Amino acid sequence: MKSKRLLYLIVGLLSLFFLPIMGSIGSAQHAGVQIKNVTVQLLETRPPVGNKVIHVYKIIAVLYNNDTVASDDITVNFYDPEFNSSTTPPMKLSPLNATLDPKETKTFILAEWPTPLSGKIPINVSFGPSSPTVLPNEKNSGYYALTLTITSTKNTASTPGFEILIVFGAIAGFLLSRKIKK
């Protein structure tokens, strides 16, 4: 019985000795990363297919580490408003994950985002730790939301019905020339 008490006393004293050391190791510092800017650039407007006009955009997100420590690996995601966010994974901007050094600015790019949407479109860009073992908090994760206005103008090269007039004119000319020959 005395030996168990002595064992508990030794373990307790060793725990008190190692507690300050383990406490400083266990508390990781997270860099203060924030989105500096998000821009959306129109790359091209594809010819219409039926009633749909496809616009292709480039999405650029600039992140900034405003702290004195390097950040964890960060991933930047874009959520396509056309798809269901619960079933469709977000698109990742490249580089797929990156560490930001203190006072460093880094640019993440989604090279092509084709969309048939028009009107006021919500653009949601978020960032967070790449590793699932690092818990997101207000210093290492965040989001940026903006509204993109896309006009749905179709550029058509022909006038509907014009071809019909040419066909009827050709038939009338053919019939008239046959009548004149008789």
What pLDDT does 51 receive?
Answer: 83
What pLDDT does 172 receive?
Answer: 77
Is the pLDDT confidence value at 48 over 80?
Answer: yes
Phi, psi for 7 (deg, rounded to 5): -65, -45
What is the domain class of 30-150 according to CATH? mainly beta
- 103 backbone φψ class: left, alpha, beta (φ>0; ψ -120 to 50): left
d(CA 129, CA 91): 15
Of 76-80, 95-99, 154-158, least confident by mean pLDDT is 154-158
Amino acid in the structure at residue 154: K
What pLDDT does 182 receive?
Answer: 67
Task: Tell me what the mean pLDDT of segment 151-162 comes to.
Answer: 58
Is the pLDDT confidence value at 94 over 90?
Answer: yes
How many alpha carbons lie under 13 Å from residue 181 in its C-beta half-sphere? 6
d(CA 139, CA 30): 6
Q: Where are the domains of the chain?
A: 30-150
> What whole-number percentage of the chain has pLDDT above 90?
30
Residue 115 vs residue 85, higher pLDDT: 115
What pLDDT does 132 receive?
Answer: 87
pTM over 0.85: no
Q: Which run of H or of E encompasses 15?
A: helix 2-26
